[in-house]
Copies of this chain bind each other. A is one copy, B any other.
Amino acid sequence: MSRALEALFAPSSVAIVGASADSAKWGNVLARGALAGMHRRPVYLVNRSGGEILGQRSLPSLDDIPEPPELVVVSVPASGFEAAIVEALAAGARAIVVVSAGLGETGAEGQVRERAVVERVRAAGAVMLGPNCLGVFDAAQELDLGWSELPPGSIGLVSQSGNLALELARLARDAGLGFSRFASIGNQADLVAADLVDSLVAHEQTRLIALYLEDFRDGRAFVAAAARARAAGKPVLLLTGGVTGASARAALSHTGALVSDARAVEAACRAAGIVAVTTPGRLIDAALALLPARPVAGRRVAVFGDGGGHGVVAVDLLAARGLEVAPLSEQLRKRLGELLPPAAILTNPVDLVGGGERDLANYARVGDELLGADEVDAVLLTGYFGGYSIDSPALADEEAHAASLLADAAARAGKALVVHTMYPSAPVATVLRSAAVPTYGDIERAADALALLHRYRRRHAGPAERPAHGRVLSNLPRPVAGYSGARALLRAAGVDVVEAREAHTLDEVLAGAAALGYPVALKAVDLLHKSDSGGVALGLDDPESLTRAFAAIRARHAGSALSVERLAPVADGVELIAGAIRDPRFGPIVLVGLGGIYAEILRDTAVALAPLGEDAAEALIRSLRGAPLLTGARGRAKLDLAAAARAVAAISEVAVACEDVEQIEANPLLVTPTGALALDARIVLLGVESPA
């Protein structure tokens, strides 16, 4: 699957087409970058007018180059796009980077031009990055085309925005991090994000993959590549843009209304173990935590510092993130007490009360005790540490030594130590970071780092998080629109559906009820919001009340088909919504949530890529805020979570198996102590307008 991109990142020779002597032009930046690598590989500058560029003679055409240029960078006006590619391929290019803008991003005509060129490139067995991109970078190869600010390091970066890459570079440098490779991917006409992720998975110097994407192209291919990265032990961090808007599918089912584009990305991240971030700053924060990747096996954090305020603030921040700062054991407090002045506070947070100031090594000694204790899963040092060398330069060596001992203690314990210092540019920050201790200048970010490390391990270690594929359903009937079509399809997939009789006349209604047995419910079908519009009557105990309900519903919904249904034991259970939609980028996505109006008003829903095995479906249900309603909280009955999970898994499998099903849902799906029963169903077929 993965396309070998060595010609792109590690070319044996480079040509810049559109190299320029004008320092205001990108062709000049590219030429300068290329020339900086001349000791590694031949560099050819091509400019139609010829002449000298940055002290190097340029050539009028690629034809004049004495050898095939393995990598060709094209930075010419859009009008010259096709000609430049033809020339590059003729010259023998294996990889082409197209900086030129004004193509696919401007509309349909440009996209047609791009597609035609991609066919030629692929026919020649070459690859193309762009158009409308900024260039490529490989630290180990000393290849820096279009970029000049990237510190070297172990982050592989793929970005659809130049400015965001620039900001990431600045933030990474400040944090002591750097980049192994960078590709600006522009319009992704040939090479797409998934290809670049795959190349970074294979790239030894890359230990973490950072992405800024506005367009995922084939979302499933992207997810598969990200999952391969995760499996290779390389965390994938994703910053997305432009995914706020609800999609056009909104009106046709509740599931459709609830799965926005952003939630589809959330499902993709869940499936591939991607860490989603909201800003460049949070991306670098997360990289700082995940690159050393000391595990946080549990929730129990010990907090310490010299001075109380920061510790107290940290406790609140950690608690808000689901971590625990519990009192330390008597035994541990005793050992700490032996190290510290009598006034020191030995609960958790631990306040050295001058014990650090008196002897900076106490920071390391206390950290060592806390990190070594079985009752502690991770340690946070917060506050002034780092400031001694700032306020008293004579203490610089002593403080750096303490930092180094502290980092050793964390390494010995194999546990995460995260440090917040009021002085993030202090020398100890460098000491700590280079010794695999994530160090932040902001207490909130330090707390976020601990929460991420805990979540990251939990998400990707537990059994429910193994790639859990559903069954392949092969014997499903051809999907049919309408309420009975939805019921039939769900039933065929193994979902229990409430017993019902379709009816149009009063006689049929009464006959249906007689067959099912009273009490019954009567519904007008083929309405999206049946309950809201007076299309449902519940608890009909006898033919008289059924007759009255028939008249009332007929008066409101004259033409609608009706369904007589056995009354469900709603008082015994909890209603969920379980549905699936087909996302144009990520394919079938499954959604579960608290049912009925709660789904749309309280937005307690969770999403995942379909198909989903039963374990993963159960984990998805358990991730709801309202999950305790199902699991017997506060003395309530324990409901049949396994049955609910089976129904969710089955719906996810239907969405995968039936390619013409755009949306399908059971809503409500009544979960009782003994099963899960779909009380209502909807299906939307591709190209069919009306909901059902």
A interface residues (Cβ-Cβ under 8 A, vs B): 101-102, 106, 159-164, 166-167, 170, 212, 214, 239-244, 262, 278-282, 305-310, 312-313, 315-317, 319-320, 343, 383-384, 387, 422-423, 442-444, 529, 532-533, 597-598, 600-604, 625-626, 628-629, 633-636
Contact = CB atoms under 8 A, between A and B. Distances in A.
Given A279-B442, A307-B161, A243 B635 contact: no
Complex A-B, nearest 10 residue pairs according to Cβ-Cβ distance, in ascending order: A161-B309, A241-B312, A532-B635, A164-B309, A163-B307, A167-B422, A244-B319, A242-B312, A279-B444, A281-B442
A102 B354 CA distance: 13
A634 B161 CA distance: 40
Contacts of A164: 309-310, 313
Contacts of A635: 529, 532-533
B601 A244 contact: no
A306 B164 CA distance: 12
Contacts of A163: 305-310, 383-384, 422
B309 A241 contact: yes
Contacts of A243: 316
A624 to B, nearest CB: 10
Contact of A244 (B278, B315, B444, B633): B315
Contact of A313 (B102, B279, B309, B315): B279
As for how many copies of this chain the complex holds, the number is: 2
Nearest to A171: B422
Contacts of A240: 316
A160 B309 contact: yes
Contacts of A442: 279, 281
A664 to B, nearest CB: 21
A278 B316 contact: yes
Given A101-B343, A163-B310, A529-B635, 6 more contacts: A162-B309, A163-B307, A163-B308, A164-B309, A170-B423, A241-B315
A343 B77 CA distance: 14
B239 A313 contact: yes
B281 A444 contact: yes
A106 B343 CA distance: 9
A313 B384 contact: no
B602 A317 contact: no
A305 B162 CA distance: 13
A309 B158 CA distance: 13
12 contacts: A163-B422, A164-B310, A212-B309, A214-B312, A244-B316, A279-B442, A279-B444, A281-B443, A601-B626, A601-B633, A602-B626, A603-B625
